Chain A
């Protein structure tokens, strides 16, 4: 896949904070998120449930609903558009034309009483008023074929399609107006692995052909490593690490990324006992002080319990991690300081026979 940073920055987010609720009882769902999405890139956003990855996507597309509030930060589209202050008219111009969103559950996103064709026409009629009926029909068929569904399926209703086909229809509608950014929120989580793989390979082929950027949100880091160019890992509302997919996989710098990677059993090599991450994901209503990951971190020391680490630029800015082990004041443990170009050893956990 292509190297990160090959295109201009399409969406730039800096210091974004999102709360649910106001005042004392507010839950900080996203805290100080920084990221840049470039043209032609697949950017993976990884995290567990409640890590704020979907909230972040909803905030930058302004789809966030009350009680969600954006409390601080910047989000720009291109050079000129401020996404956080854009008015309804400007947003309407952006949505679907420039930024399209595909949600996790295609069952809920498609209208069950309208045929696929009329749902395509809806989009085109609303955003391309100049198109004739025949043109809309032709474009809809073309879009369906693009995701590998025969055009005669336009007459079908959602319940007549399999889950994989419905998700393909969602992707096709998202691409209807040639957007430059497509945001996919767990697009394949509800699907079987074979269907997931088919959709992902179609998606990357379309990306290569049409050149849009993809923000791919998933809890499955092992999948993101395969399909994304760069990856940001979120934990309890914060970006804890950002790097190229290869670098995250081969040389994670944050203990949480390391733990997540060793939570996926391998399909090759000797079977070794693995530990995962002890404890449970942080409760945002009652977030721990300092680094939110410290109660589960086996490297935690005093400073982690009091000060929250900022996202530190590493390796000349090509990657970043929010961990006090990486601020240069001490040598990081070996497994958090691997070189990026050296293949990973089989496992990081203690080795043994049967798990």
Chain B
């Protein structure tokens, strides 16, 4: 596919003219698996993902587990090599490993396992500085401030940037002495040590306590606003994506199925899967219990469904959906969605409701291997599911 929906999204979002720092062009990753029956197969983890991260912007990738969002982050970090497609840094193929790592850094989900328990904070921050030759080696223990060594000053700086102050008090602490939020801040400081331009954050707050999540999210927002960082925010929580990101890309079964300005994707979701996701999200503003806009579980990615991968669960599935993968279509400026419903002029044969899916034909269907239940079909045909709460406008 040649459409780069995210580029268009940025234009609409007022970040136009900004060249993307990091780009994914048609990234595809298949992982080989060996099955007892069936021999060698591949898991279609990410397929044809195109994404562009602009300077000073946060792009959220939202999806359920198994949607390929973390694989996409690892592909962008060049921890794994793509099956096909390219990662472009400033429009050029990515440079060697070390030079790439200076520009693009990854922050992992679990700060309880991503920090080494036998080393203190100072060690974690000094290592990238030394390895990349950003600070001189010699240091005097316990000395900070203007008369401390270069390294100590740098470390104090980093801790200051992630709001772990007073810095000299935190530098000598070990991971077990820190709370989850503080640990994640150390992990972010470590990523910032090489002064990268892109931060890839893979579920950075999902392991943290609810009351401290916003603090870390706000820190990411400040890094965007203050330091102009380009940030990829991978999450399963669409409400936090709406809060933090400028652009949301929704992934389903390895493919980016909708992308656009954050508030627009959540307020007027175009793709039936995004509608399903929003109808299932916790929302205290909701007046009545939600009616799910679809059911079931994501498909088996070893043998993904034909055509649109969402069609076995889609309440609007048509004949064409099972036959052909839909292209991304711009539904509003900068907002695109890959769904046949947006294509005008389908023939009656193409737009016939698909038998054996969640269409008006009712429950049933044997295609999806992971289908959970066969209860009565719950459908919400309207374009925006989820009732609007009373307290939303001020």
Contact = CB atoms under 8 A, between A and B. Distances in A.
Interface in B265-323: 266-267, 276-286, 289-290, 292, 294-298
A281 B211 contact: yes
Contacts of B359: none
Contact of B394 (A204, A265, A270, A278): A270
A225 to B, nearest CB: 4
Contacts of A259: 211
A109 B254 CA distance: 31
Contacts of B239: 264-267
A193 B65 CA distance: 10
Contacts of A281: 179, 209, 211-212
Interface in A316-355: 343-347, 351, 354-355
A154 interface: no
B283 A194 contact: no
Interface stretch (A66-74, A78-86, A215-223): A215-223
A193 B284 contact: no
B230 to A, nearest CB: 15
A273 B292 contact: no
Contacts of B215: 276, 278
A91 interface: no
B236 interface: yes
Contact of B209 (A162, A219, A345): A219
Interface string B369-394: 01011110000000000101111111
Interface in B69-109: none
Most buried by B among A165, A270, A280: A280
A193 B210 contact: no
A197 interface: yes
Contacts of B279: 197
A220 B210 contact: yes
B292 A201 contact: yes
B285 A266 contact: yes
Contacts of B375: 148, 202
Contact of B263 (A164, A226, A271, A355): A271
Most buried by A among B181, B285, B295, B393: B285
A259 B213 CA distance: 12
A276 B283 contact: no
A284 to B, nearest CB: 13
Contacts of A197: 279-280, 290, 292
B157 interface: no
A226 B284 CA distance: 5
A267 B210 contact: no
Interface residues of A, number: 56
Interface in B17-71: 64-65
A162 to B, nearest CB: 5
B238 interface: yes
Given A148-B375, A162-B370, A222-B282, A194 B64 contact: yes
Contacts of B221: 354-355
B351 interface: no
A49 B214 contact: no
Q: What is the size category of the interface that chain B forms with chain A?
A: 35 or more
B255 interface: no
Nearest to A274: B214
Nearest to A222: B282
Contacts of B373: 148-149, 168, 198
B242 A267 contact: yes
A130 interface: no
Contact of A267 (B64, B213, B225, B285): B285
Interface string A154-187: 0000000010110010000000000000000000
Interface in A224-278: 225-226, 249, 259-261, 263-271, 273-278
A280 B215 CA distance: 10
Contact of A164 (B181, B292, B297, B388): B297
A345 B394 contact: yes
Nearest to A48: B209
A306 interface: no
Contacts of B240: 265
Nearest to A220: B282
A240 to B, nearest CB: 13
Nearest to B267: A268
Contact of B64 (A165, A193, A226, A265): A193
B212 A355 contact: no
Contacts of B296: 194
B276 A194 contact: yes
B243 A192 contact: no
A8 B282 CA distance: 30
A346 B393 CA distance: 6
Contacts of A162: 297, 370, 372
Given A192-B236, A193-B281, A194-B277, A150 B374 contact: yes
Nearest to B238: A267
A280 B212 contact: yes
A267 B281 contact: yes
27 contacts: A148-B374, A149-B372, A194-B276, A194-B292, A194-B296, A194-B297, A195-B372, A222-B282, A222-B284, A225-B284, A226-B283, A261-B284, A266-B392, A267-B242, A269-B393, A270-B393, A270-B394, A274-B243, A277-B212, A280-B180, A281-B179, A343-B389, A343-B391, A345-B391, A346-B392, A346-B393, A355-B243
Given A271-B242, A276-B214, A355-B218, 4 more contacts: A48-B211, A193-B281, A274-B214, A346-B391
- Please provide the 9 A-B residue pairs with the shortest distance between their CB atoms, ordered closest to farther: A276-B214, A265-B243, A269-B392, A148-B373, A280-B179, A197-B280, A225-B284, A277-B211, A343-B390
